[in-house]
Structure 1
Amino acid sequence: MRLPTWIRQHLAALRALLVLTVLLGVAYPLAVFGVARLPGLKDKADGSLVKANGRLVGSSSIGQSFTDEDGNPLKRYFQTRPSNAGDGYDPAASGASNLGPEDVVDKLPDPRLVAAGKEDGDARRSLLTQVCARSRAVGELEGVDGSRPFCTPGGVGAVLAVFGPRAKDGTVPHPTRVVSLNEQEGVVKAPFVAAYKGVRVELARYGEDYARGLVVPVRGRAPARPAVPADAVTASGSGLDPHISPAYARLQAKRVAQARGITTAQVEALVKDSRTGRALGFMGEPVVNVLRLNLALDARYPARE
């Protein structure tokens, strides 16, 4: 007896479901698991975990902070690049800030909340200000010039709102008012530049709308090639990058050597040994794994307490 068409269609769908379940739900996962157990792959499949003296200290594939309880960098260790993954290097919150190069204007905090010792949840630092603040902090930590183009000496984005009649090309040739957008009145004493095209520059006031002004970033006199490398002030796309550039490692070598009571040359030798070349000889850039470098330092040159 021939079954009705609708029953045959349902039976065919059921057979396909069972076959695909066995192949993709059982066989394929088991095959992947078996391959991951092969010598040479097992370590990576387990998370590239790193142990020191029998104790788990981290993963060579995921960055981590080397700071004290208050979040201050430990001078005896190399520091990793910034992270926007959760509270920092959180694998469950991997991701970037999603802020682009045109994100240059801060959302200022409510001074009443700041005066009360509270945090304004609506305030937000622009990508430019984040980069400027990080560069200034790294410069102070490493004893170098932390200035960057389009950054104020105070570590915020050097951005003006210029008001006045606009020319056909969109510029404001004869300003009537100029405001430093990222420098808040009551927080800084004076703007990073006193005047712009002959007009006195004002500090920004909380709650005032400057949207009608032309946003003008000011390059300033910082060197075209800052002393602080780019990877020291920007986070990776995943927020989990465990590597830094050789340039950033060299910048930190003197500080680490002083903290451990050894020579800079000794530290730089370890940096050279910890350096990894381009993948397959041509992809990416040479990098230094921070966790492995710090472990090598502890093993060879223990920090003085």
Structure 2
Amino acid sequence: MTRLPVWLSQHLAALRVVLLLTLVTGLLYPLGMTALAHVPGLSGAARGSLLKGPDSSVVGSRLIGQAFTDGKGNALPQYFQTRPSDAGSGDGYDPTASGAGNLGPQNVVDTLETGNDPTTYKPGLLTQVCARSLAVGRLEHVDGSRPYCTADGVGAVLGVYHDGGTSGRVTKVVSLNQACPATPFLANYQGVPVSCATPGADYTAAVTVPVRGDAPAHPVVPPDAVTAGGSGLDPDISPAYAALQVPRVADTRHLTEDQVRTLVAKYTTGRALGVLGEPVVDVLQLNLALDRTYPKQGA
């Protein structure tokens, strides 16, 4: 019997492997996964965990958050509000632009607006938190103050100049996040008058000093109401943030607070396996339940 050349045998073996892997990974595996995705109990997740509104049309996914605002970006008072999102422009929650703001706890100084161009203004993380807390406080009629925030919702941060560079006698103090002609949140610092900041000026030689102020150590507005999730698509809020919103939603929909709390409890998920993570409330499912359970009060 004539034996094939070694090079031809190797090529035929490689061809058989390619055909086998193509059959297994290109046909059998996809068909198997597709069949598994249609098993009752798994099909919903495989299709994106989609949710339908009262008219049976798809309104979103329970895995992706969305904003409940009007055309001007104002919160719709009859709905529970989600946490902030950095995914995409506008209201955020753009699945194609998922991502975090990439700002850390040291990001406390804003880039002030120059030349009457709003696009040049870039608030730091501290000012974003301060502004959001102030807005939530106004919406929910509670105290929105936080440590290291001014009354007008920016980071309470001073630029302090010393005659010895980073130490010594204080010679000049600037409120870095309050552009002139704003009145600084603090009149004097160590006996030196505090001035407002000039947009475009270089304050890198100053020592950055955040000022705590007299806000409560435990703010009324919870952290998830003022910080964005890592993906920018977080569909959940904490039970504390949901509880803060109950009076507003109940009042707007002419319901009792107990009626609203009952729905909040229904859509609250506990810790995974009883120990992992924190309890959360799915905002989209909760708002859909509100409209479905109390259709006359829904908008």
By the TM > 0.5 criterion, same fold? yes
Counterpart in the other structure of 1:58? 60
| Partner-residue secondary structure (3-state), 2:51 | strand
Seen in structure 2, the aligned counterparts of structure 1 residues 166 and 45 have a Cα distance that, compared at 3 Å, is farther
- Asked if residue 48 in structure 1 is aligned to residue 28 in structure 2, the reply is no
Q: Which one of 70, 81, 84 corresponds to residue 83 of structure 2?
A: 81
**Normalized against structure 2, the TM-score is what?**
0.91
1:261–1:304 contact (8 Å) kept in structure 2: no
Q: Deviations over 1:52-98 (max 9, x none)?
A: 23122221111111111111001011001111111311111111111
**Structure 1 pair 35–204 and aligned structure 2 pair: CA distance change class (3 A):** same
Matches within 5 A, 1:14-163: 14-52=15-53, 53-87=55-89, 88-113=92-117, 119-120=118-119, 122-163=120-161
Q: Distance in 2 between matches of 1:216 and 1:9?
A: 72
Distance in 2 between residues matched to 1:32 and 1:163, nearest whole Å: 65
Does the 8 Å contact 2:147/2:216 carry over to 1?
A: yes
Deviation at 1:3, TM superposition (A): 3.1
Cα 1:11/1:144, change in 2 over 3 Å: same
**Offset at 1:109?**
1.2
Q: Give CA deviations for 1:210-257 in whole Å, capped at 9, x if unaligned.
A: 111111111111111100000000111111111111100110011111
Tell whether 2:251 aligns with 1:258.
yes
Aligned to 1:303: 297
Contact residue 290 and residue 298 of structure 2 kept, 8 A: no
Post-superposition offset of 1:8: 5.9
In the alignment, is the contact (CA less than 8 A) between 1:175 and 1:197 conserved in 2? yes
Query: CA 1:264/1:172 → structure 2, altered by over 3 Å: closer, same or farther?
Result: farther
Give the length in aligned residue pairs.
293
Gaps of 5+ in 1: 114-118
Instruction: Classify 1:172/1:15 alpha carbon distance in 2 versus 1 (closer, same or farther; 3 Å).
Output: farther
Q: Residue type of the partner of 2:153?
A: G
C-alpha RMSD of matched pairs (Å): 1.9
Say if 1:111 and 1:145 are closer, same or farther in 2 by CA, change over 3 A. farther
Measured in 2, the distance between the counterparts of 1:10 and 1:155 equals 71
**Identical positions, percent:** 57
Report the Cα distance in structure 2 between the residues aligned to 1:30 and 1:100, rounded to whole angstroms: 45
Normalised TM-score (structure 1): 0.90
Q: Which runs of 5+ in 2 are unaligned?
A: none
* CA distance 1:164–1:34, shift in 2 (3 Å): same
